[in-house]
C-alpha cells in the first residue's frame, strides 16, 4: 500500500469522525504538516475524496469538507435504497446456509442491544448487518457504490441513531429482511429492504422540516 492511499484513508477517517466538520477548509499546506508528507500526496488524497463526494474542490479556491443538506441526504438514501434492494435480492439468491445463520445471529444481537444487554452498540451491529449482506450478494459493483453513499450521508445517519425508539423499529425491519433471505425470497428481500430505507427517509424528512437547513 502506497503512502498516498494511507493518507487518503486517514483523511477520510478524520472527516467521517468529525475532526474536520462540514464546511471546514482543507488547506493543503496545513494537511502536509498534519500528516507529515508532501503537498502532492495530500493533493492526490483530496482528488480521490473529491470524486467520492466527501470534499468539494473549486479551481484555485481550495478544498472544503462537503456540506450535505437534508435534501441531499434524502437523495443519497433513496439511491442507496435502490442499490441495497438489489443487493438484498442477490443475497437471497446466492447466500449459503452458513451465511444465513450468521445473518440471523446479527439480528439476535440487535435485539439484545436494544434491550441493553449487549456490549456491541446498535450502530455497529447495523453496519455489520449491511456489510454482511453485501458480501453475501456477491454484487461488488453495487456494494462499492453503497459503501460510498453510506460515507457521504454518515453525518446524518449519526443523528438518526440518537432518535429514541428508532432502534426498536429498525430491528424488526432488519428481521424482516433476514427472514426473506432465509426463505430464498428475492422480491420479498428487496421489498423489505426498500421499506427499511423508506422509513429512514421518512425520519430524515421529518427531521429536515423541523431542523436547520
Partner DNA sequence: TCCACGACTATTGTTGACAATCATGTCGCC
Partner DNA sequence: GGCGACATGATTGTCAACAATAGTCGTGGA
Binding site for DNA (CB under 7 A): 2-4, 25-29, 37-41, 43-44, 57, 59-63
8 A C-beta contact, residue 11 and residue 27 = no
Tell me the C-alpha distance between 7 and 29, whole Å. Answer: 14
Tell me the C-alpha distance between 134 and 124, whole Å. Answer: 15
Helix (H) or strand (E) holding 57, with range, is strand 55-58
- Residue 36's CB is within 10 A of a number of other CB atoms, namely 9
Tell me the C-alpha distance between 151 and 4, whole Å. Answer: 20
Residue 145 CB, shortest distance to a second copy, in Å, is 6
Name which of 85 and 170 has its Cβ closer to a second copy: 85
Tell me the C-alpha distance between 31 and 7, whole Å. Answer: 10
Using rule CB under 8 A, residue 96 touches a second copy: no
Tell me the C-alpha distance between 6 and 205, whole Å. Answer: 36
Using rule CB under 8 A, residue 213 touches a second copy: no
Identify what 85 binds: a second copy, DNA, none; CB under 5 to 8 Å per kind.
a second copy
Identify what 39 binds: DNA, a second copy, none; CB under 5 to 8 Å per kind.
DNA
Identify what 101 binds: DNA, a second copy, none; CB under 5 to 8 Å per kind.
none
What part of residues 124-153 is at the interface with a second copy (CB under 8 A)?
139-142, 145, 149
Chain positions contacting a second copy, by CB under 8 A:
1-2, 5, 40, 43-44, 47-48, 51-52, 59-60, 72, 75-76, 78-79, 82-83, 85-86, 139-142, 145, 149
Amino acid at each position: 500500500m502506497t503512502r498516498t492511499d494511507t493518507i487518503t484513508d486517514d483523511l477520510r477517517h478524520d472527516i467521517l469522525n468529525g475532526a474536520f466538520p462540514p464546511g471546514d477548509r482543507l488547506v493543503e499546506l496545513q494537511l502536509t504538516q498534519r500528516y507529515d508528507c508532501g503537498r502532492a500526496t495530500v493533493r492526490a488524497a483530496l482528488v480521490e475524496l473529491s470524486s467520492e463526494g466527501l470534499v468539494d474542490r473549486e479551481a484555485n479556491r481550495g478544498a472544503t469538507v462537503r456540506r450535505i443538506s437534508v435534501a441531499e441526504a434524502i437523495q443519497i438514501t433513496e439511491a442507496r435504497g435502490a442499490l441495497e434492494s438489489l443487493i438484498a435480492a442477490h443475497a437471497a439468491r446466492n447466500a449459503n446456509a452458513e451465511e444465513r445463520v450468521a445473518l440471523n445471529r446479527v439480528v439476535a444481537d440487535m435485539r439484545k442491544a436494544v434491550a441493553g444487554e449487549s456490549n456491541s452498540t446498535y450502530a455497529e451491529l447495523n453496519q455489520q448487518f449491511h456489510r454482511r449482506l453485501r458480501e453475501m450478494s456477491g454484487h461488488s459493483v453495487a456494494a462499492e457504490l453503497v459503501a460510498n453513499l453510506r460515507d457521504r450521508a454518515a453525518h446524518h445517519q449519526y443523528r438518526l441513531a440518537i432518535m429514541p425508539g428508532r432502534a426498536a423499529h429498525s430491528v424488526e425491519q432488519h428481521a424482516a429482511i433476514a427472514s426473506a433471505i432465509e426463505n430464498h425470497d428475492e422480491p420479498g428481500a428487496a421489498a423489505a429492504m426498500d421499506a427499511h430505507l423508506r422509513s429512514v427517509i421518512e425520519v430524515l424528512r421529518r427531521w429536515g422540516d423541523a431542523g436547520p437547513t
